[in-house]
Amino acid sequence: MKLISADASPFARKCRILIHEAGLGDRVEVVSLTTTPINTDPQVASANPAGKLPALLRDSGPALYDSRVITRYLDEISGAGLYPQARIWEVLTLEATADAMMDAAVLMVYEHRVRPADKVDEGWIEAQWAKITRSLNALDARWMSHLSGPLDMAQIAVATALTYLDFRHADRSWRDTRPDLAAWHSKFCERDSMVATAPK
């Protein structure tokens, strides 16, 4: 199998972390490339008609895309148990929260990257950050006990989202008013899978 990835993509990184945690490194080749919404790499377009990363090329069957589809599939074939049935709805909800944060954070980046400077909509950017702020507050207020529990995909997704905020939006200083969440993230980032996949 091949994972079509990009080093800076948080969605692709989430899959790479799972590959590491699930011991699938010898079964999944990671193919890193560069693509943008306005200049889509042909390999990406071939694997995913929406032109988004990541995509998983399987030895048999069509390509899989959307990071949550890929992580569920890789967890299933590896038996890693990162989607435990006993708390599946909490895991899926928390993963969706993390993905929404990443989506908003990526949109903030593209607002500056693909628009002329005089067309950048600061109101749009702040609206995306408001989504992230509400999500951070929810994590801090409601989800710390889950994050501190046994490893699952929700924790991987949240840690990936928080690292992306550090990577692209460090000036927003999300840690300053959320010491418990910040401490959890710092500890989680010591995992081998996080170190091995850290954005450059």
Whether 125 and 187 map to the same domain: the answer is: yes
Whether 58 and 153 map to the same domain: the answer is: no
43 CB-near residues (< 8 Å, 6+ apart): 4, 31, 33
Whether 53 and 102 map to the same domain: the answer is: no
Q: Which one of 78, 95, 117 terminates a domain? A: 78
Q: Is residue 158 part of a domain?
A: yes
Q: Is residue 200 part of a domain?
A: no
Q: What angle do CA 84, 149, 93 make, to 5 degrees?
A: 55
For residue 84, say if its preceding peptide bond is cis, omega within 30 degrees of 0.
no
32 CB-near residues (< 8 Å, 6+ apart): 5, 6, 7
Whether 152 and 64 map to the same domain: the answer is: no
- Calculate the CA 9 to chain-centre distance: 7
One-letter amino acid of 73: Y
Tell me the CATH number at 43.
Answer: 3.40.30.10
How far apart, in Å, do the first and last CA atoms of the chain sit? 24
Other Cβ atoms closer than 10 A to 23: 11
For the chain, how many structural domains are there in total? 2
Q: Which one of 78, 111, 142 terminates a domain? A: 78
Reference 155, options 86, 104, 107, 90; nearest CA is: 90
Please state the pTM of the whole predicted model. Answer: 0.96
> Structural domain of residue 146, as residue ranges?
85-194
Q: Is residue 199 part of a domain?
A: no
Whether 105 and 183 map to the same domain: the answer is: yes
Q: Going residue by residue through the chain (200 aa), what tens digit of pLDDT does each one get?
A: 999 999 999 999 999 999 999 999 999 999 999 888 888 999 999 999 999 999 999 999 999 999 999 999 999 999 999 999 999 999 999 999 999 999 999 999 999 988 999 999 999 999 999 999 999 999 999 999 999 999 999 999 999 999 999 999 999 999 999 999 999 999 999 999 999 999 88
